Amino acid sequence: MTAVEQPVFPHMFEPITIGRMEVKNRVFVPGHNTALSEKGLVSDDMIAYHEARAEAGVGMIMMEVSTVHHSYAPYGRLSVIDDACIPGLEAMAAMGRRHGCRILGQLYHPGRVSAASEDGSQMASYAPSEVPDEVYKNVPSPLSSDEIWEIVESYGAGARRMAEAGLDGIEIISSMGYLISQFLNPRLNLRTDAFGGSPENRLRFLREIIKSVRDAVGRDLTLGIRISVDEMDEEGLAPNETLAALTAMEADGGLDFFNVIASTTATYAGWLHIIPHMVMPNAYLAPLAEKVKQAVSLPVLIAGRVNQPQDIEQILDKRQADMVGLVRAHICDPDFMAKVRDGRAEDIRACIGCNQACIGHRLKGFPISCIQYPESGRERVYRKKTRVQTPLSVVVVGGGPAGMKAAAVAAERGNDVQLFEKDKRLGGQALLAQLLPDRSEFGGIVTNLEREARSHGVTIHKGVEATAAMIAEENADAVILATGALPRIPDIDGVQDGHVVDSWSVIRGEANVGASVVIWDWRCDWVGLGIAQMLAQNGCRVRLAVNGIVAGERIPSMVRDYAIGELHKLGVEIVPYVRLIGVDADSVYFQHLTSKQPVILDGVETLVSHHAPRRNAEIAGKLAQRGIRATMIGDCLNPRTAEEAVLEGLKAGMAI
């Protein structure tokens, strides 16, 4: 670098001292549950997951929450309740030292919002007072004074085990409406004893936990707290309440940093901000951190919808926070920091905030991953892509997400890959997805996958429809079919009499849609919701009839709940539990899924059908007739989502 050159992102790579711990840069991975633990212990898969990010140069990693007390010790959560946790934590700490990355553990008790289970039965929940929660429908048992002191001691015991294992620091979890914040909240803490009744008493639980931890680990180990400054709901903590607690904690002198976030898991409105999806602006919580930073002198950390280095740099440059955390950006691209450091920021695989395979997996009890980068959570199998000894010629037919991923991976491994796409643009159905309201960012999957394919040397042919004869002439060593799916109009009574159009033509703006519309949503995904929002915003009367228990049944809850809220504001009527059976000139006929009774919607000008798509697999049969074996992936195998398409592309590329 010459004297006149300046680093593009100068603040990101500045070191910082937190407590007595020096961190090599200003970027960290906040704690998030990976579902990669084994019976409450650190697993090899979990270490491999975090090592991919540490190896790329991130300064600090917060491990996921570890339970501290037997009153909440469900299957699938890390636990520091006994010494069995120490060997795994030691291995995690050693990994961090190999890469110069600081590793911090998190101490946690959810209180009334316990949601997991040991055996499928509902666990008992505990809280300061008997105040039910909205989401998990728990009616908690108020903690006795003895139980409170036992939990306080368990925080110290868990901290001692983390310190003994060699972790660089500890973060006490008071975010997302968990137990500590429940004690701070006057609407949830109705106690009249030493742990409630006044702001000072409501602070006592947190103060005693900090003291317990400090007594267990001493002053050398870095200790901080993660807290939701604004729980984003009327029942939740408000910023003025949280700031008062933080300034009091700073005056006590026991903490080294504040890691601030927003939201609560206790309410539906709060959950929208737990893992904010693509409808939320980038780095939208930075002003919240700035308020905290103006009130305290300890280092302030912030995260939430940050997926680009320029966002990080802007937050640091404005001094809104001292460190910036990225979870999903690092799930989507573990090499984020290495790419920035090496001047390749344009190669970052930007998170699109879909929440489908990260929190979407976690809510189903499966290890987290990413629809764009399914290697995440599967590092031990797919992270390292070995080069082939003898390069093969590979033909990929179809340039949607499945085809692009297959081509990119096969080429990365050293094969000679050609990709044929009949349209003039790559992307397949993702090009439709990005046209719906609040979904424009979904188009990033196309940009990212195309860049990967080109960077690995894939020869891309656009506007070329590959035929069986053409493929035969190529005489390729391997053929991968990713030809996708096509829209389907259901075969129902009266389909010729009514005005029935398919969802794809509506999204493209090609269909003539009347003023009164019924949408038939067979898939119960985000498309039916998106079309309903689009048409309602255009002034249509919209009724959304879904073949399931709720619109958006198959998508992550916070994405669904936000979309349903938007439809409510627009006056869209949602009709669940129905099966489409017929249509005529002005009515659509349904059958209730369980009662079998008719459901008739009258005054309809247009029926928009978002029905089961049909596999576009004709070319597979023609290739088979020529004796050419082909691997089918994505929707031409089974119509599903972009996640399965990209994952199968990865597997196909690795299998060659």
Residue at which a domain ends, from 298, 328, 348: 348
pLDDT computed for residue 3 by the predictor: 43
Is residue 3 assigned to a domain?
A: no
CATH number (domain holding residue 126):
3.20.20.70
Which residues span the domain enclosing 552? 500-612
**Residue 125 and residue 67 share a domain:** yes
The enclosing domain of 454 has a CATH number of: 3.40.50.720
> How large is the angle between the packed helices 199-217 and 239-252, nearest 10 degrees?
40
d(CA 358, CA 434): 20
507 and 584 fall within a common domain: yes
For residues 261 and 232, membership in a common domain is answered with yes
In the predicted model, what is the mean pLDDT of residues 66-74?
94
pLDDT tens for 509-529 read 999 999 999 999 999 999 999
As for how many domains the chain has, the answer is 3
* 125/156 same-domain check: yes
In angstroms, rounded to a whole number, what is the distance separating the alpha carbons of residues 478 and 476?
5
The arithmetic mean of pLDDT across residues 29-39, rounded, is 96
Residue 378: inside a domain = no
In a domain, 358, yes or no: no
103 found inside a domain: yes
Among residues 293, 323, 348, the one where a domain terminates is 348
Q: If we measure between CA atoms, which residue out of 375, 330, 377 comes closest to residue 30?
A: 330
DSSP designation for 281: P
175 and 186 share one domain: yes
Determine the pLDDT at residue 5.
53
Same-domain check for residues 283 and 324: yes
Are residues 73 and 220 located together in one domain of the fold?
A: yes
- Residue 634 and residue 509 share a domain: no
Query: Taking Cα atoms as reference points, which of 634, 636, 638, 637 lies closest to residue 650?
Result: 634
Q: Quick: pLDDT tens for 175-218.
A: 999 999 999 999 999 999 999 999 999 999 999 999 999 999 99
pLDDT tens for 295-347 read 999 999 999 999 999 999 999 999 999 999 999 999 999 999 999 999 999 99
- Domain of 606, CATH number, reads 3.50.50.60
Give the integer Cα–Cα distance in Å for 73 and 32: 17
One domain, residues 182 and 217: yes
Whether residue 353 lies inside any domain: the answer is no
For residues 479 and 506, state if they share a domain: no
Give the end of a domain, one of 297, 322, 348: 348
Q: Do 276 and 421 lie in a common domain?
A: no
Residues 433 and 555 in one domain: no
How does pLDDT run across 324-337, given as a tens digit for each residue? 999 999 999 999 99
- Answer yes or no: is 375 within a domain: no
Cα–Cα distance list, 28 to 77, 250, 359, 448 (Å): 22, 22, 19, 23
Q: Is the pLDDT of residue 1 over 90?
A: no
